[in-house]
Structure 1
Amino acid sequence: MESDNGGTAQTPPNKFASALQAWSEIDLPNLQKKLDEQGLEIKREQKSSLVSRKNLAAKTREFKKLPDPEKLESLKSLLKLYQNENDSLTTKRTNVEKYFFSFYRVMAEAPDPRPLLEASLASVISSSEAETYKKEISDLKDELARRADYDQLKQRMLDSEQKAAETLGAKLTAKDDEYKALIDEKESNWQEKEKGLRDQLASAKHTIEELRTSKEVTELQLSSQSSGAVPADSAAVLAELEMATRDAEFSKKRAIELENRNENLRRELSMSKSKLDAGDFQKESTQKMFELESENARALATLSQVRSKLQDAQKHLRDKSELYERQTNQLAVEVRGLKARLEATNDYDELKQELHILRQLEFGTGDDENESGSPEFDSLLMQRNRALTKELADMRAQHDGLVETIQRLEQAAQNTSTELHHAHSINRKLERDLQEAVEAHRFNDNASMISGVSRFTGMTRGTASSDEPQSILPIVTKQRDRFRDRCTELEEEVRKQTAVIGEYKRQVRQLKNDNEELYERTRYLASNGTSGSGRRVFQPKPNMDLENNPYRQSYESKLHPIEQFRMQEQERISSRLSPAERLFISLTRAVLATRATRMLFLIYCVGLHCVVMIVTIYAMSLNTTMLPEVGLNSSTGGVANGLSGKSVMHLIFFAFIAVAIAYGYLSLNTHKMADETNKHPHQDELIVDIGGKKVPWSSVNKPHTRILDADKHKPVPNPDTFPDIEPDAKKREEQLAAERRKNN
């Protein structure tokens, strides 16, 4: 039964989950937005279709009014209008079918939301009632937990009533026994008292007898001994002593009996006290037991309530976990879809990079640059730079003027177009008025409008009265003709303005290309003018005019990607050098820039060494001449003066060797550091692809080297060497394709 219930309970959530998945895939807000856009588009198309059909109807009526020779001429235009209208209707029908099938494809598998919404509404109502019931149940459970010891209290009350009755009976029995014992005790006391009184009476009688006897004896003694009184007194004393002795014995006997009775009573009293203590302890134990039972019952009720709350919490957690699991499954499905989409578009970056490289590959082929320049090359470059700068300024001024002219012409064209639209609207209004007038006069529109009007006015003129107002139809017709002529003139002016604007745009594009070429040449001249000078110590000072030029971005976007990468790598490596190394590299580049500077540096080093050696030899000669002649001759044997010439020659020879070694070491270090500055970290193993050819990086790294074709070792000039050559990527691709076909 539980499995059946579980199965029936799991069916609605599955339906809800499938419906939720389906409607989440439908994405109703975006679908509504798309339908709104499509509806607006259909509405616009309806309006445009209505306007076009009205225009077509007007053209058809005009065609019917034309004479037969003119109908043949305007038939082609009318057929073209009908064909255009047919094409537009076909396009609209295709769009509507596409919109319908796209909507149907989305909504075909969607479940009916009505039963699900009804079930949801019922569940919401039942959930609200269930919340009330749950609250009542929780209150009742709390009340039940507080009154969990009701049965124990009731049983305890019954037990206490029964025990009270038993206790009352026991107390009555004990009281009865007590009274019986008291009565028995009193009876025994009375009997003992009676017995004692009887004994006393007997003793008194005996005493009386003895006293009587003693009296008699005394009397006899008195009679016999009349003279003596002491023996009578002694007899009385003896009698009293005997009575006192008997009383003492009786009292002693009575005391012994009382002691025995007191011991019995004390024993009974201790036994009754022990019984009373045992009863109190039992009562206290029973009370404690009842209290513990009630606490146990309350604890059991609280435990059952906590268990029910725990079960509710576990059920709530299970529902939450199922909800989270469904959401996780939905997210997993979305993630799988996104992963599939990502896998389908994983080559996006590569295609983007290839497209960027193809866009930037725009430099063509050319000859090598002549490295040996004339001495006046720098001055010629400066003059050419100034001329190009002046030309660039003129071109900028012309460009600004052309831009203003184009804006003015565009504004005039816009105004003309506005007037033309206004004239068209007035023309359409007049045509509608004319049509209404013709229909009002019941005119047969097989002939032209003017002839029809003339016939109509001729017929009506003979039958109408003299005071009838003339028709305004010829006036309106003439005004319409004037409007048509004016519209034709305006259209001709618009065509002329459009041609002028196109010419200006072509000139602007040409000026833009010329400006880009001038900017490229300016950059080249600026780089050549600053590369050979030794003014850059730490980093070259950028030319602000070139950096802020609007054509800088266009020029850099057309650079070869390998050249851009080489420039970035050179800047990165230069930025990693210390200031001392930059200063040393700048000085060495300034020294080794030209042959003249190298020769001057060599002459300077040789002259400096010669001066140092001459000063050293002169100082040594002064020191030797200052020595005493006798001491010198005696120490050297007279050959000191003869060795001075050889020493000088040896020193000069060693000085030249040192200068040559220093110059060679300096040149070697300079070229090595320059190569390290320009070299890519992975230059040896880097191969780049240029025009479908695998080219090593070492052949394109330096600015004045030649790129060798890796297949046939054909020289391809470096793009950085000849910036004056106009890029022609299409021609280069055709040449490369021809070379590949020839090689194949």
Structure 2
Amino acid sequence: YIGLSGPLRPFLVSFSEIQPWCRITAIFSQSHNFLRTHHFSTLSTQKLMLPRIEDAKSSRSLRTVCGVLCVVPVSYSVCVFCPQRELDATATVLAHRQDESEQSRKKLIDQSRDFKKNTPEDLRKQVAPLLKSFQSEIDALSKRSKEAEAAFLNVYKRLIDVPDPVPALELGQQLQMKVQKMHDTEMENQKLRETLEDYNKEFAEVKNQEVTIKALKDKIRDYEQTLKNQAESLAQEKEQQLNNDYAEKERWVWPVCLFRASLQMCVTLESTQSELFDLKTKYDEESTRAEAAEREVDSLREQLLSASKSLQLATQIQKEPDMAVDVVSRSSLEAELGGKEREMMQLVEDVQRLQASLSKLRENSSSQISQLEQQLHVKSATLKQLEEKLQEQGDYEEVKKELSIFTCKSVRLSIPQDSSKPLEVLLLEKNRSLQSECASLRIANSELSGRYAQLQLEFSGAVHTSTEQKELILKLEQDLSTIQTMARPPAEGADLIQMNTIPEPIKEVIGLFSGSPQMELPQDQMDSLLSIISSQRERFRSRNQELEAENRSLQQTMQALQSELDSLRADNIKLYEKIKFLQSYPGRAGGSDDTVMRYSSQYEERLDPFASFSKRERQRRYLSLSPWDKATLSLGRVILSNKMARTVAFFYTLFLHCLVFLVLYKTAWSESVGRDCTTYCAKKFADHLHRFHENGDNGDMWQ
């Protein structure tokens, strides 16, 4: 930048204010404009082919030395399997760029000739070194771009004919999944066989107890029937009792409400009276305090008068000869007088404040008394209104009877003449009957809707399969119509019988793929056979996909059924617990059936005292541990339960051991070095004493 001048200064900018990629663009654009303005003729097109810096993935190191740009490639990323479209697009882009570079080359040649003609000699000499450096750098860049394009085209030519490995990989993955599924199904079949054997054993054991099971079942039925009858009778009695209680409570509810309202009014009246009494007591206390304050003010005034008299006496004593005593007594009296005056002012302020608070209290108490009196008047008025309303509503029973008659007519109840049941019971019975009818109708509707949906699905599936079968038949007929049967010489032995049972088109296909030299098919028959095989392959593929989808749906249903089976097993265990609880009552014979015996073992395992005892012992031992033992146990469980935690703990322990060994080695080495240095220094000191201070001269000893 220092050695350049003239027209080169405008396109050398301050690089500290621009980003690296912006610096490249600025230098390229300004240098290009400068070359177009001054028309250099010595530049070739290849020397000005600048690469476009747009790819952020290719990392490049940028260096600028005295305005000269150097672009050094660091790494290249090569993609082995590229999509066909991306490769074609890249090839077309490279072709377009080559065309553009040819056009720009012609333009630059013309501009360089014009620049050579119109530029003076001294300016060309000044610009020549810079142009040469630009030319060399651009030559290198163009050479590198050509090599990269050639390498890309070679790779493109080699990769263009490579087949796509994705279908083969997908097929391999599908086969692997099928093998895994077959292995899983074999394991499941083995487990199911084992469970079936266990069930057969249990069934053989239970089959011997059928007689006792039947007797116990009969007893259980009888007991359930008796319990049901007792529960129904108790429910009817309880319902009748509740209806009677409801009628009695309804008869007495209105007077009780009125009585409660009157009691509430009395309570509020008493509370207002107590508040009024409290306000009066507060008013009396404040008045007594005000009187006491007035008395204190009077006493302070008397003290002030006595102090003024003492001050007058002090002024009279001043005329006596003893001046020192007079000065002392005067100062003490003045100080006492000032203190009394301050106390008097404070008491006056207190009296004023108490009078103001007393006036406020009087105002507040008067306002509260007026409010309470108004509330009392309002409460008394409402009490009178309620009493009048109670007197007016004396015909409550008659209105109730009329209402019952009206409701009977409205709901159209068939009440028998000799029925002594109240209206509420009849309404409840009618409601129950209507609810039962509604539930039965709802169940029937749901069953019919489910049956209709199932029939609809079956009909749609049948229509779909029939259309597919028709299309398949038509296609096969068209394919078979194009095949011409060929006569074959009879074979000997059993092969003749086997080949006579095979249809003619299939025999042609078998002969084609077995490589028989006697059968040669024309080209049209080969094409028709190929179309048949391809269509059959497509049909097999679609059928395979359908079977896989059906297999997945069956697996999902099997998982759902397994979860439902687990939940039912848990529910059955709970039901067995309830049965055991019912069997514990006296007067019931203990018994069991096949379902009870099936879940008794599981229930007993859950109630195993040894298992619960071992669990309690483990909990007790854990609680008796110290806090650091608990922390160590928890940390060990966490580390052993996770693979990543175990790996981290192993490497951490290894690192700590290495660190400890390194520290010990360094400490031992430093101690050995210090010991060697000490012995060496002692030896040198002894040699020095022996050599220079052999006679024991004190002066020489301290030199």
**TM-score band w.r.t. shorter chain:** under 0.3
TM norm structure 2? 0.18
Instruction: Please tell me whether Structure 1 or Structure 2 has the larger radius of gyration of its CA atoms.
Output: 1
TM norm structure 1? 0.17
